[in-house]
Amino acid sequence: LLLLLYTNAYGLYHMIIAFDELKTDYKNPIDQCNTLNPTVEKVKKIKRVKIAIKLVLPEYLIHFFFCVMFFCAAEWLTLSLNLPLLAYHVWRYMSRPVMSGPGLYDPTTIMNADILAFCQKEGWCKLAFYLLSFFYYLYGMIYVLVSS
């Protein structure tokens, strides 16, 4: 179980890094876009949003899976730490814009400064949280290994 947890944490770590790269990526291409030609730029933008869609859902699923694992392992403390985020994810997905496919971001509103800033902030906060929990899991795993 711990091994699984470790791998998962590792995978999550990478996933989050990628996710955050995407997030921080949000702005740079946009700022630099003056030199890009419009069509390319637009395609890039839409692709970015799609990547976000592809990344966000796995992130939510992995996180959900983690919580289930913690629940099974009766790791109540860890679980309680993760529950708020899980609840947030559920809320976030429920209140997403009207959309036929899965996804969170609406390409027509994502460029609104408020929404963009919010998404970036959200990305950074979650990255910090995931990083902290990664080290916490690592610590937990090593502690278990050593003590056993």
Partner 1 sequence: MSAPGFTNLNSSISYGQNPATPHRNGPAQTYQPMHPPTGCYGAPPQQQSYPTIPAHPAPVPSKAPITNSAHSANYYRSNHHQQQQQQHLSQHHVAPSPYSASPSSAPPSQTYATLPSSAPPPSNAHYSQQPLQQQHHPPYAPPGSYYGPQSYHAPPAQQSQQQPSLVPAPAVGPGAPVYPIVSYPSAPGSSQFGTLSSSQSAAAHGVMPTQMGAPLHQYGTTRPASTAAVQPGYGVAPPSHLAPTVNGQGGTGHQHYDQSQPASLSYDSYGDADHPPSGTPSASVHSSPGHHQGMQYGYAANSGASSASAATSGPAAAPSSSSSEDDDDDDDEEDEEAGGDTSSSSTGSASPVPNSYDNLEGGSYPDSMPPSNHMTNQAAPYGNYGYPGMPPAYHQGPAAVTDSSPSHDPYGQSSYQQYSQPFPNMSQLSAALGGLSGVPELEVAALRPVNLLQERDLLPHRPLEAPEPNLSPDLKKVNCCPQSFRCTLTSIPQTQALLTKARLPLGLLLHPFRDLQQLPVITSNTIVRCRSCRTYINPFVTFLDQRRWKCNLCYRVNDVPDEFMYNPVTRSYGEPHKRPEVQNATVEFIASSDYMLRPPQPAAYLFVLDVSHNAVEAGYLKYFCESLMDNLDKLPGDTRTRVGFLTFDNTIHFYNLQEGLSQPQMLVVSDIDDIFIPSHDSLMVNLKESKELVKDLLTSLPGMFSESKETHSALGPALQAAFKLMTPTGGRVTVFQTQLPTIGAGSLQSREDPNQRSSTKGVQHLGPATDFYKKLALDCSGQQIGVDLFLLSSQYTDLASLSCISKYSAGSIFYYPSFHCTQNPTQLEKFQKDLERYLTRKIGFEAVMRIRCTKGLSIHTFHGNFFVRSTDLLSLANVNPDSAFAVQMSIDDSLADSSLACFQAALLYTSSKGKRRIRVHTLCLPVVNQLSDVYAGADVQAITCLLADMAIDRSITSSLSDARDALTNAVVDLMSAYKNNVCNLQQSGLVVAASMRLFPVYILSLLKQKALRTGTSTRLDERVFAMCEFKTQPLQQLMRMVHPDLYRLDDMSDQGALHLNDTVVPQPHLLHLSADRVTRDGAFLLDCGNVFYLWIGKSCDHLFIQDVLGFPDYASIPATMTHIPELETLLSERVRAFLDWLQDKRAFSSTLTVMKDNSSAKASFFQYLVEDRSEGPFSYNEFLQHIQQQMS
- Decide if residue 94 touches partner 1 (CB under 8 A): no
CB atoms within 10 A of CB 18: 15
Is the CB of 41 or the CB of 141 nearer to partner 1? Answer: 41
Residues 53, 103 contacting (CB under 8 angstroms): yes
| 28, 34, 147, 148: residue in contact with partner 1 (rule CB under 8 A) | 34
With both helix axes pointing from N to C terminus, report the angle between 76-94 and 113-147 in degrees, rounded to the nearest 10: 160
Query: Given candidates 3, 74, 94, 98, which one binds partner 1 under the rule CB under 8 A?
Result: 98
Is 45 an interacting residue with respect to partner 1 (CB under 8 A)?
A: yes
Candidates 55, 70, 54; CA nearest to 123 is 55
Using CB under 8 A, list all residues that contact partner 1: 30-31, 33-34, 37-39, 41-43, 45-46, 97-100, 107-108, 111-114, 116
